[in-house]
A and B are shown apart, each in its own frame.
Chain A
């Protein structure tokens, strides 16, 4: 069963930038789905379209069976690329604010996750490093019991040990049947967790399928395949 169905999706922003040029893909329930591509490929626009944060110029998006724009979709949790929250509050207050509107949020689960990620609780949001902001967002996102987790660069600024912890959390959720969609530019990391992926370049899909199939047909690992495809398009 598909959790997300994207058909012929195009997005042109008001400033004339064509971020997506007719992309189509499905995300299987219970899979870890990666969206890869160089900067400006359309990764974040794709994620925002799935969440219903932006209106498609043309084409269709169905997230958990519903059209996400403009009301968003329940049972979806999100880690944004821009990791900004109320800068002047401390983390425990931020958690309370978050709990007041986020569906199925468990403070207890947040506590467990923040310990696993070694998150400092005493600081104000404005005082947090990039890595600590990422940790906070990941903990907030996975403290929600939802069907779909959408993560935009969820390991930004993390050291290798915490990064591995985040990947473990992603995998644990897949084990209990949750779907995780995530974008990253760290290929070696994606290679460790993803089942299915798309590779985007300049708003178009260069590859859409499983990681296994990609390796079998190219006889290359993910980084090598990625480079070959991205460069191949430039010839």
Chain B
């Protein structure tokens, strides 16, 4: 499992890992039923303490992203139907912040729109070229 952890961020490490695993599940990179590595293995892999991973699994389970079976360990569950929408709202919020930042430089609505469209076009163009 590849997750980049920033120990020196103001966001606690457990939160960074929770978001990364949720995103992998929502993006179907981790498939329902797939076994997750053990607490110990993931702790060693990511270079974090076992307590941190235990907390991550606890949160993921309480929110319905993973489940556990005795003797098997944690595996990917089917996340609640609203979870993608929730995650998109987080990203919307991130977008909102960027727009507010742009507004500080006295950009008009039209100018901001233009910039967004240009970036969107670039991203989708790249994707088309790749496929």
Interfacial residues, chain A to chain B (CB-CB below 8 A): 30-32, 168, 171-172, 174-175, 188, 191-193, 195, 211-212, 215-216, 218-224
Contact = CB atoms under 8 A, between A and B. Distances in A.
Contacts of A172: 44
Contacts of B49: 31-32, 171, 174-175, 193, 195
19 contacts: A168-B47, A171-B43, A172-B44, A174-B49, A174-B50, A174-B51, A175-B44, A188-B7, A188-B8, A192-B7, A195-B49, A195-B51, A211-B12, A212-B15, A212-B55, A221-B8, A221-B9, A221-B10, A224-B10
B35 to A, nearest CB: 20
B83 interface: no
A192 B47 CA distance: 9
Contacts of A222: 8
Given A171-B49, A175-B40, 13 more contacts: A30-B50, A30-B51, A171-B48, A188-B7, A195-B51, A211-B12, A212-B12, A212-B15, A215-B11, A215-B12, A221-B9, A223-B8, A224-B10
Contacts of B48: 171
Contacts of A168: 47
Contacts of A211: 12
B57 interface: no
Interface in B14-54: 14-15, 40, 43-44, 47-52
B10 A191 contact: no
A31 B12 contact: no
Contacts of B14: 212
Contacts of A175: 40, 43-44, 49-50
A3 to B, nearest CB: 14
B26 to A, nearest CB: 24
Contacts of A221: 8-10
Contacts of B11: 215
Contacts of B13: 212
Nearest to B51: A195
Contacts of B47: 168, 171, 192
Interface in B41-85: 43-44, 47-52, 55
A31 B51 contact: yes
A144 B47 CA distance: 23
A223 B8 CA distance: 8
A193 B49 CA distance: 7
Contacts of A220: 10
